[in-house]
A = this chain, B = another copy of it.
Amino acid sequence: MGVTKSEKFTDAQNQVARMAKALAHPARIAIIEYLFSIDSCVCGDIVNEIGLAQPTISQHLKELKTVGLIKGSVEGTSVCYCIDHQNWLLMKNLLSPILNLDAATLNKCC
């Protein structure tokens, strides 16, 4: 099928999975790291920075934009992308509870 049965899970579980999915490709990790390293809007450079074809990068940027982790604004012929700091924080607050689940456990087994 390739289709996820979202209705079987809670909103929170679906949201966590959705965000994890956005981070589930090295090119998107590379893009995010680059945007943070620049710490300002980037016009152009992204395609040169990552070693993939322009349409492929454009697609990855679109996915990141769709989940809200980055935002882009048109600047002449080019488009400036940057981290959406507000949504980044929301994503962190969504994932952190999962990552820190082990801190709340007593490690009884295994």
Q: A79 interface residue, CB < 8 Å from B? A: no
CB-contacts of A6-59 with B (<8 A): 6, 8-10, 13-14, 16-17, 20-21, 23-30, 32-33, 36, 39-41, 50-52
> Nearest chain B CB to A8's CB is how many angstroms away?
4
For residue A73, which residues in chain B have a CB less than 8 angstroms away from its CB?
110
Q: Which residues of A contact B (CB under 8 A)?
A: 4-6, 8-10, 13-14, 16-17, 20-21, 23-30, 32-33, 36, 39-41, 50-52, 71, 73, 82-85, 88-89, 91-92, 95-96, 98-102, 104-110
Indicate if the CB atoms of B102 and A92 lie closer than 8 Å.
yes
- Total copies of this chain within the assembly: 2
Contact between A32 and B82, CB atoms less than 8 A apart:
no
A81 to B23, CA, bound (A): 26
**Complex formed: what's the CA distance from A54 to B83 in Å?**
40
25 contacts between A and B (CB under 8 A): A4-B27, A8-B51, A9-B27, A9-B30, A10-B26, A16-B26, A17-B25, A17-B28, A20-B21, A20-B24, A24-B24, A32-B98, A32-B101, A39-B106, A40-B108, A41-B109, A71-B110, A82-B110, A85-B105, A89-B102, A91-B99, A92-B99, A92-B100, A96-B99, A99-B99
